[in-house]
Amino acid sequence: MIGDLFDSPWKIAIIAVLIIVLFGARKLPDAARSLGKSMRILKTEMQSMHDDDEPAQPAAVQAPVAAPAPLQAAATPAPATPPADAQAQLAALQEQINSLQQSVGANGAATDSQQKR
């Protein structure tokens, strides 16, 4: 059915005139420009997805083959020390968050009072 719609140049011309009449000549260039930008964005995103997938597969295959023994040897003593370090880091980060929230709260109250003046 749609194949029959575009089989003669007269039908294409009539459809083009109808589109121009319906949407207006002023809006068509902007619509075509935004459609072109969208297509370029889609194309670059698709290429980046393919680029991201290709390097990840060979690296995943080579990494386990390269060093399975050192990973096992290093993994045994490591769990004893990181929890204390991780807890200390978490505590330090929590203190930083609290101080930032307090400073933002104090600055927010000051800016609110200044805006009311």
Mind listing the pLDDT tens digit for each residue in 52-97?
Answer: 877 555 544 554 554 445 544 444 444 445 567 888 888 898 999 9
- In-domain check, residue 58: yes
Query: Residue 75: its pLDDT value, please?
Result: 46
- In-domain check, residue 105: no
- In-domain check, residue 111: no
Domains contained in the chain, number? 1
Contact 6, 12 (CB under 8 A): yes
Q: What is the DSSP letter of 26?
A: T
Phi-psi group of 25: left, alpha or beta (phi > 0 → left; psi -120 to 50 → alpha; rest → beta): alpha
Q: Alpha-carbon distance 90 to 96, whole Å?
A: 10
Mean per-residue pLDDT of the chain: 74
Report phi then psi at 79, rounded to 5: -65, -25
Domain residue limits at 16: 2-63
Model pTM? 0.32
- In-domain check, residue 106: no
**Where residue 1 falls among pLDDT bands split at 50, 70, 90?**
low
- In-domain check, residue 48: yes
- In-domain check, residue 54: yes
pLDDT for residue 102 is more than 80:
yes
pLDDT for residue 103 is more than 50:
yes
- In-domain check, residue 79: no
- In-domain check, residue 36: yes
72-102 burial: b if 16+ Cβ within 10 Å, else e: eeeeeeeeeeeeeeeeeeeeeeeeeeeeeee
